[in-house]
Structure 1
Amino acid sequence: MGENFILILFLLCCSAFFCFSEGALFSLSRPQRESISKQGGRVSAAIGKLLSNSHKLITTVLLADEIFNIAYSSVIALTARKYLQDTPEQTVALISLAIASPTLLVFGEIVPKTAGVKFPRTISKAVALPLYSFHVAVTPIRWAILFVSGFFIRAFGADLGHRAQGNYISSDELEVLVGMGRDEGVLNEVEKYLADGFFRLEDLPAHGIMTPAIDCFTLPHDIEVKEAVGRVRQMGRSRIPVYEEEKDNIVGILYGKDLLKWNFTEHNLAATVSECLRKPYFIPRSKPAGALLRELQTHRIHIAIVVDEYGRFDGLVTMEDILEELFGEIEDERSVPDRVAPAVRGGAITIPGGMKIEEFNDDYLFSVARSAGLENLGDILEEAVIPLRMENETMGGFVFDLFGRLPAEGEKIGFGGLVFTVKSREGKRISEIRVDVNKEARGDVH
């Protein structure tokens, strides 16, 4: 009887040992791991080797847990069978289960794993050498388990790639950690704003921050240097897209500083800018701003040309455009003061056609709806939020889409409790829109 109890206690301690090890090693923070590594010695080396491949370490721990847990339960069952010979098999099985399960759960899992998590550094050092010895000893068994399990995992389309090799976290998890850092005072509001900006860049497509092609200052490739100098000086731009034959065909970027270095002889002034162009960097509309920022830094360029699926010039994005998403508006001595923000007067507001739909929804919709009175405020706000569609980025484009044709100046159309009036056009482009509350039938064209 005594031998059985000693064996049961030994197996329970073995199970607890591996739970200790798992909880401690996987709770080591990166600074703790680096600190232990700098100390040197056999213990540090063992910890480094164990954590160098977390997938193998987990397999070793699970293998040991299964071996000792099954052995523990089996010895308890045999011992119970020995002392309860006249008891029915089902009753003996239930008694064995009632003893093995709670003791194994509490003393073999919960208590040791909790202790390991609470004291990771101390326990990791204590268990490193024996655990590493066991880890090496079961290498053939572990290899067989990984081979078989890997076959089935790959059959279901999963991947045991390098993510399993280290302590990686997803961008969503990192975003949650940033929020926790602000709530706990680790990050201040400015640091939180900057961190959130980096997350926004990964979801922000290039077309969301680009300057549309229609607003871009461009030059033809056959313009003479003398004339180009005057036009560049007049516009005050430092990097200008250059097209050949038609504006959709961008063939290069003209840098203002390249013009400054030009040898201004009579012969050279008659030359065309095509002789001093730089290669354009083309990107699709859907290019994430975060990835674009990294590429611009890698290639050491400051401007990218956005093209649509048909290869037509759609707009341009500069390094400054991306950085402004992080830090806000960047101004220098050459910056033109911003337009005066639209204000609601007489229950109506006049906005530029190039205003982003998101900006209107966030900054101006409430002010317009409020002018109709509090009793209708909720209904108007619910109905009048402009949908964010891929084909419409600006209010001018949205109103154009509502009409389904090019509207004339002065034409009106209703949408969700609002009336949009085309105040002015520039060619085929709606340049100004008046927005007020539709107090009559909503959705009618006048």
Structure 2
Amino acid sequence: MSDDNPHSSRGSAGKSWLERIASIFTAEPQDISDLQDIISEAQMRNLIDTDTKSMLQGVLDVSSMRARDIMIPRSQMATIDIDDDVADMLPILLENNHSRYPVVNEDKDHIEGILLVKDLLHFALNPDNTDWHLRDLLRPAVIIPESKRVDALLKEFRQKRYHMAIVVDEYGGVSGLVTIEDILEQIVGEIEDEHDDEEEHDIKKMASRVFQVSALTPLDEFNETFGTSFDEEDADTIGGIVLHAFGHMPERGESIELNGLTFKVSKANSRRLVQLQVIRAKESVEAEDG
């Protein structure tokens, strides 16, 4: 007997990938390991692609993470002092390109609040606003313990509509900060904005001896700029040279000296180096100036 249903020809092809994954469940998964096996099997059967598998794995990873696992460490927090004026803030804003900053009083253990750059611009660029203090612009800082579950924190970020939390240790000292972007990057991978795209193609001089360099800068361009002679047969980019020298995937903040230059990792993810800070030796700068 013929099938008169006009939709029957679609078959399983019309199902969403979530429905198709569900169809391979032969029993309820008992633990995270079972779920990981199911996701891997779905990818091998071409029910999901590699990117989808990575995102699902990211969701599972986040469910077992704590704030301490993904926070930006205290030493790498970009902060503004409560007594800074606009001229003091501008270099910090331009170098970091963040939309919000913790504001501190004396040191990073004393967080006064969070400054949104849009709030600062509203006052700083309005000639009628002459009598204001940075303290007037601050929003309350959200404080969380290092042990805070990341999945619970993401839920709070969404429900309470804040984007940054200050992480403290058991003694109440500031140990770092977490943003909603940090959590989402654990799931979907690195989120790049227009500033990231711009950085990846530039060697920027930040000070007399300090440069901001994309890890993807071609090695011949790097050698020409810095007068170095890294072998182009060893790698195509300066990031490749630095990665080989480390011998492992370095984390943000790690540094190494090569050919009279100090390379500090300023941005990286689990897969690759993104941004490097390159510091020239003081002697070499003085020799050029002389």
- Kindly provide the CA deviation profile for residues 16-75 of structure 1, in whole angstroms up to 9, marking residues without a partner as x: xxxxxxxxxxxxxxx9xxxxxxxxxxxxxxxxxxxxxxxxxxxxxxxxxxxxxxxxxxxx
Matches within 5 A, 1:355-434: 355-356=250-251
* Contact persistence 1:221–1:243 (CA under 8 A): yes
Partner residue, 1:197 = 58
Give the superposed CA RMSD. 3.8
Q: Check conservation: 2:86, 2:124, Cα contact below 8 A.
A: no
Per-residue CA distance 1:237-282 (angstroms, 9 max, x = gap): 2100001232211121100111122275667445321101111112
Query: Structure 1 CA distance, aligned partners of 2:102 and 2:242?
Result: 38
Equivalence for 1:253: 114
Instruction: Provide the residue aligned with 1:418 in structure 2.
Output: none
Note the alpha carbon deviations across 1:92-119, whole angstroms, 9 max, x for none.
xxxxxxxxxxxxxxxxxxxxxxxxxxxx
Instruction: Give 1:287's match in structure 2, choosing from 135, 148, 159.
Output: 148
TM-score of the pair, normalised by structure 1: 0.38
Q: Is the 8 A contact 2:71 2:176 kept in 1?
A: yes
Task: Provide closer, same or farther for how the CA distance between residues 341 and 233 of structure 1 changes in structure 2, counting only shifts above 3 A.
Answer: closer
How many residues of Structure 1 are paired with residues of Structure 2 in the alignment? Answer: 200
Greater percentage in strand: 2
1:341 alignment partner, SS class: helix
Compare CA radii of gyration and give the structure with the larger one: 1
TM-score normalised per structure 2: 0.56
CA deviation map 1:143-185 (0-9, x unaligned): xxxxxxxxxxxxxxxxxxxxxxxx9975554434323322333
From the two aligned structures, give the one with the greater helix fraction: 1
Q: Which amino acid aligns with 2:173?
A: R
Residues 328 and 248 of structure 1: CA distance in aligned 2, closer, same or farther (over 3 Å): same
Q: Return the match for 1:321 from 182, 190, 210.
A: 182
Aligned match of 1:343 in 241, 247, 251? Answer: 241
* Number of the residue aligned with 1:14: none
Q: Taking every aligned residue pair, what percent have the same amino acid on both sides? A: 31
- Give a deviation string over 1:200-253, Cα, whole Å, max 9, x none: 112233233222222221111233356545643454321000012322111211
Measured in 2, the distance between the counterparts of 1:230 and 1:216 equals 15
CA contact (8 A) 1:242 1:251 kept: yes
CA contact (8 A) 1:229 1:259 kept: no
Determine if contact 2:58/2:186 at 8 Å carries over to the other structure.
Answer: yes
CA shift in 2, pair 1:260/1:211, >3 Å? same
Question: 1:325 offset after TM fit, Å?
Answer: 1.7
Q: 1:226 to 1:264 in 2, by over 3 A?
A: farther
Q: Is residue 138 of structure 2 the alignment partner of residue 277 of structure 1?
A: yes
Bigger relative contact order (CA 8 A; separation at least 6): 2
